[in-house]
Amino acid sequence: MGVGEDNIEMDEKGRVTIPASMRRIIGRRTFTAELSGKDAIILRAAEDRRGLVRRVAAIRLSGEKGRAGVDASTVKERYGGVKD
């Protein structure tokens, strides 16, 4: 399925070095760790949060300018909302 390495050791501070061959394939520096059973740790490459923030900031919402000041609570029952 993928690239595998044997005998990767953990140092006295709990650090594990990911082999260069794997780092080149992954191309990222941030990971999430998940414990899978008692003897397996799954590392998943994490999205760069700064890139995610830039993409969200770039989203431009559009709509009718005349409705921009309408309070949603005044029309929510028309669209399945519950009137308080």
3 state SS of 33: strand
> What are 6-47's pLDDT values in tens digits?
788 899 999 999 888 888 888 888 889 999 999 899 999 887
Q: Look at residue 57 and tell me whether its pLDDT is greater than 70.
A: yes
31 bridge partner residues: 45
* Max CA distance (Å), the chain: 65
Q: What is the pTM of this model?
A: 0.47
